[in-house]
Structure 1
Amino acid sequence: MTVADVYVEFGAREARDVSPSYERLAYQVASDRELLDRLAGLPEPKRQPNLLFAVVRLLGGPVTDPAGFRAFALERWDEIAAQMLVRATQTNEAGRTAALLPVLAALPQPLALIDVGASAGLCLFPDRYAYRYGARTVGAGLPLLDCTATGFTTPTRLPRVVWRAGLDLNPLDVTDPDDVAWLDALIWPEHTHRRERLRQAVAVARADPPYLVRGDAVTDLPALAAQAPAGATLVVFHTSMVYQLPDPQAFADVVRSLPARWVAVEDPALTGAALPAPPSDALYNVLSLDGVPLAWVRGHGQSVTWFAQDSLT
């Protein structure tokens, strides 16, 4: 797939009906030879639209005006490229916990959680947020996470978490304004509700900063898992992270070797299983438990469409 193809697909499948600004930018970049040539000079994992657009936002550039974006990007490309090389799309979307909750609430309690690719660890607090699945609300407080639930009975309780930890090559610090600014830059321009949600989730995490370990998802996960308390169900989970790994199979082998339940929200291509048709042509991830696909999930946790028949437990 060419760089132009990547941007066309992003515009058509990820940004369409979600972010008109990013849809326009994606198509512009896909047709702009100067920008494509500059992107081609970066390592493949660093060419992704989310990373480019977030860095431009971080540097104060325009992302709602394609002409202004192009001028800014070409004029300050060296600075943009330098930032893209050292940063990653560590989108720490608390809304994704709404997709995790049906599984976490059904597992034997209490839970010990490890988020692999934790960023700032905001997804480590599924027991501290509130959720609204249609007419049913679970939990109290802020943020209140809205999720459209189809094909399953929504949870009636929050999980009981007695230990939580995150693993990341570059963990972000919720008490560091610069790290929080990067998380904000990763939020798409029209998504004011996500920006408010980020502020609320950061407030939760700052009140009880999560235990985050700088390390590799493959080589350092077993040692972190060994720190989990006895008597709790150990759950290793991750959301939209595996695409960044050099060897996803090695990671899967390590997780399967642990005395843990494995919850993932990832690209459907990574399941290796036959799946039913998704609800629409939009981009969906797949929620799975111990490698068994359960449901289609929109990228920010805004909808869960269940297709599995077997019991969660």
Structure 2
Amino acid sequence: MSIAGDYANFAARELRGVSPVYERLAFAVSADDELLDLLGTLPPAKRQPNLLFGVVRLLGGPVEDPAAFHDFTVTHWSAVDAELRVRATQTNEAGRCAVLLPLLAALPQPLALLEVGASAGLCLYPDRYAYRYGDRRLGAGEPVLECAADGPVPPTRLPEVVWRAGLDSNPLDVTDPADVAWLDALIWPEHAHRRERLRAAAAVAAAEPPLLVRGDLVEDLPALAAQAPAGATLVVFHTSVLYQVPRRRRDAFVDLVRGLPGHWISNEAPDVLPYGGLPDPPDAGLHNVLALDGTPLAWSRGHGQSMLWFG
């Protein structure tokens, strides 16, 4: 797909009804020849809308008005280009724990969690947050993660986590204001609740920082997994991460993780981790497929705001 097509598709599938500001902006960029030409000078992985919009916000640029966004980005292209080349979309959305929780709570306890693409590790604390599924609340912590769940009864207990570790090519530090500023810049403009959630989750992680390892998801995963304590169920998981990994490397990771002890939870778009015979998604929006050990079980939205069970 062309760069223009990527931006238009992003607007229609991910932003419609979720972020009107970014929907308008993504459609504008898809028709902006000057910006498209500039984006064309970047490596393909650095052209994505979330990355561009986050970098402009980090640099203090406007995103509410497409014309002002155009002028700022063109005028400050050298700075925007430099940031795009060294940054990655590391949206560390703690809300995704709400769709992981039913699987985590059902596995043999206690758990040793290992997140691939962990960013700052905020999704490594599913036992510390509280949850609301409709009118049912679980847990007493903060933040409270809300999820519209259609399917099985929500879990009645939180998982018991005795070890938590993350693997990332560029791990972020929740005690570093610059890293937290980048996480904040990646949150969509209207989503004040997600900014509050980021601050609350970052406080949880900062109080007991996880083990975060800089490394490759294939080369360095076995050694990190081997550090999990005996007697705990190892759970390797990832959510909205593998789209950034080339297909051949992605296939190598899948082969590797299937051979590890314990369990594997994936939460990725269906074109990233394909499955045969999936039912239709609930609507035209972009949904992830939540799967356990390679078996697809539910559709989920990217920030953990809803899930629809079919498995």
Q: Residue type of the partner of 2:136?
A: R
- Taking only aligned residues, the RMSD between alpha carbons, in angstroms, comes to 0.6
**Structure 1 stretches of at least 4 aligned residues deviating more than 3 Å after TM superposition:** none
Write out aligned runs for 1:151-300 (5 A).
151-246=151-246, 247-269=249-271, 270-300=273-303
Unaligned ranges ≥5, structure 2: none
Give deviations 1:155-178, integer Å, cap 9, x for gaps. Answer: 000000000000000000000000
Offset of residue 36 of structure 1: 0.3
Q: Distance in 2 between matches of 1:95 and 1:301?
A: 5
Offset of residue 71 of structure 1: 0.5
Give deviations 1:190-241, integer Å, cap 9, x for gaps. Answer: 0000000000000000110111000000000000000000100000000001
Q: Distance in 1 between matches of 2:62 and 2:258?
A: 44
Q: Distance in 2 between matches of 1:146 and 1:102?
A: 13
Indicate conservation of the 8 Å contact 2:238/2:265, yes or no.
yes
Secondary structure of the corresponding residue to residue 29 of structure 1: helix
Q: Distance in 2 between matches of 1:73 and 1:273?
A: 42
TM superposition score normalised by structure 2: 0.98
Give deviations 1:68-125, integer Å, cap 9, x for gaps. Answer: 1010011001110110110000000000000000000000000000000000000000
Secondary structure of the corresponding residue to residue 268 of structure 1: coil
Secondary structure of the corresponding residue to residue 171 of structure 1: coil
Indicate conservation of the 8 Å contact 1:46/1:84, yes or no.
yes
Q: Distance in 1 between matches of 2:198 and 2:240?
A: 17
Offset of residue 243 of structure 1: 0.9
Match of 1:12 in 2: 12
Q: Distance in 1 between matches of 2:293 and 2:284?
A: 26
Indicate conservation of the 8 Å contact 2:58/2:185, yes or no.
yes
Offset of residue 268 of structure 1: 1.1
Q: Distance in 1 between matches of 2:97 and 2:295?
A: 19
Match of 1:311 in 2: none
Indicate conservation of the 8 Å contact 1:265/1:287, yes or no.
yes
Give deviations 1:100-151, integer Å, cap 9, x for gaps. Answer: 0000000000000000000000000000000000010011121000000101
Which range moves more in the overlay, 265-274 or 248-257? Answer: 265-274
Unaligned ranges ≥5, structure 1: 309-313
Q: Distance in 2 between matches of 1:194 and 1:34?
A: 32
Q: Distance in 2 between matches of 1:297 and 1:149?
A: 9
Q: Distance in 2 between matches of 1:241 and 1:140?
A: 29
Match of 2:80 in 1: 80
Match of 2:122 in 1: 122
Indicate conservation of the 8 Å contact 1:271/1:291, yes or no.
no
Q: Distance in 2 between matches of 1:280 and 1:140?
A: 33
Secondary structure of the corresponding residue to residue 216 of structure 1: coil
**Size of the alignment, in residue pairs?**
308
